[in-house]
Amino acid sequence: MRQRTIRKSAELVGIGLHKGMPVRMRLEPAPADSGITFYRRDKGVEIPLRPQNVVDTKMATVIGKEGVVISTIEHLMSAVYSYGIDNLRIILDNDEVPIMDGSAASYCMLLDEAGIAEQNAPKKVLRIKKSVEIRDGQKYVRLAPSDDFILDFTIHFDHPVIARQHRRFVFSTKAYLQEIARARTFGFLHEVQYLRSMGLARGGSLDNAIVLDERKILNPEGLRFEDEFVRHKILDAIGDLSLFGMPIMGAYEAFAGSHDLNHRLTLALLEDSENYEILEAKAQSIQGIALGAAYAKE
C-alpha cells in the first residue's frame, strides 16, 4: 500500500474553542515522506506533527515550536489518521484548530472535498512489539501487540447520564465514519463556567459540545449515540496516537484515558526501539493487505 496525501487544497473557517476567535484553516497536499506539518501563517512558523513537539495536554493536545503553539489538534488529526493520510500541510492564521461542531465530522467532509491521492512511496506502519503502559492511580492507557488497530476504552463518571461506558472499536475508515466521527466533545456546566472565568472556553457552546449540568444534558437535540461520550474518547485517542506519524498495528486499551496519558504513552513507546518496529506495507505482505482493508471506505 502506498502513502497518501490529498488530491487538492481545501479550506474552512470556524472559531477556536478556548479563545473564541475566527480561524481559517487550509489543507494542502504534501510530498511523499514529508509527513504532516502545521504552519502558522500569521507567525511564519512551521511545526511538524510529532510527540516531541507536544507542549501542553491539560485541556487539549497542543503542539508548539519557538514559542508558537497550535491548540486542539486532536479532532482534526483523528480524521486525518482515519483517512490514511501520511503527508499533509495544514495552514492556520491563529493558534487553535477550528472546533466546528465538536466532533470530527466537518474535517471528514473537508477531506472528502479534497480527495485522496496515492503517492509513489510505500506506506510505513508502526507495529507494536511489546506492551507499554502508563498509569495514574486507577487510570491507565496501554499499547500491546495486535495484527489490527483496536481501541478498547472504558470511562466512568459520577453522573446519571454517563455513568460507566465501554466500547471496543476495530479500526477501519468505514467504521470510523459510521461509529466515531460524529461523536462530540463534552463538558460539565460548572467546568465551563470555571474555564470562562480563566479566559478559556470562550468559543464553547451547545453548538460544538455536549454540556451537562448535575442531572441532565442541556443540548435540546440530545445525543447522537447512546454512548456518545466513550465514542468521543476513542475519537480523541486516535487523534493523539496520530502523532506517531504512521498507521498503527497494535491494541490500545484505556480506563479514563486522557490527552496527557496518551502523550506520555507515545513518548514511552518510542523510548525503547525494542517496543516497536517500522514496516513498509507492501502490497504482497500480510500487513499491507490488512492495512488496505482497514482504509477501504466501501
Catalytic site positions: 259
Rounded Cα distance between 132 and 143, Å, is 5
Q: Which three cell numbers stand for residue 51?
A: 510527540
> Over the range 51-86, which residues count as b (16 or more CB within 10 Å of their CB) and which as e?
bebbbebebbbbbbbeebbbbbbbbbbbbbbbbbbb
- The single residue listed with the C-alpha cell 475508515 is 173
Cα dist from 177 to 3, 58, 259, 292, whole Å: 21, 27, 22, 16
Rounded Cα distance between 231 and 78, Å, is 12
**Which residues pair with residue 250 across a beta bridge?**
149
Cα dist from 189 to 193, 205, 224, 291, whole Å: 6, 10, 19, 41
DSSP letter, residue 275: G
Rounded Cα distance between 206 and 283, Å, is 45
